[in-house]
């Protein structure tokens, strides 16, 4: 289970929106630092949020949020299937020994 988030989703959305609005007005340098200081958010956290929104919108290359979630689901399912497969292999070996009259028990 994931730990609780330090910043609310509303604050994240508002901060990212503010950065994009400042960039649309022509300000490029220092927008993240300025918005982070105004809202009391760590600068690197805001920078990460902005990058992820850019990836999700297709402005920047990378793994989108939905793709990352899907990959995590598939990896979880893969682990469960491997574990089930190991259990089935062990069970089949156990029953093969039980049914073979030549092997000592």
Sign of the C-alpha dihedral, residues 24, 29, 34, 40?
positive
pTM attached to this predicted model = 0.68
Question: Domain segments of the chain: what residues?
Answer: 7-62, 64-100
Over residues 67-99, the pLDDT tens digits come to 999 999 999 999 999 999 999 999 998 888 888
Q: Residue 33 in contact with residue 43, Cβ under 8 Å?
A: yes
Domain 7-62 of CATH type 1.10.10.10: yes
Buried b (16+ CB within 10 A) or exposed e, 29-42: eebbeebbeeeebe
Over residues 24-61, the pLDDT tens digits come to 888 888 899 999 999 999 999 999 999 999 999 989 89
């Amino acid at each position: 289970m994931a730990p609780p988030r330090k910043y609310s989703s509303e604050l994240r959305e508002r901060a990212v929106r503010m950065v994009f609005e400042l960039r649309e007005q022509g300000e490029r340098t220092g927008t993240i630092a300025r918005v982070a200081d105004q809202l009391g958010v760590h600068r690197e956290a805001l920078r990460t949020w902005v990058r992820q929104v850019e990836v999700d919108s297709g402005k920047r290359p990378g793994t989108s949020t939905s793709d990352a979630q899907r990959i995590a689901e598939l990896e979880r399912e893969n682990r469960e299937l491997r574990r089930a497969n190991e259990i089935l292999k062990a069970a089949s070996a156990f029953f093969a020994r039980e049914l073979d009259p030549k092997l000592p028990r």
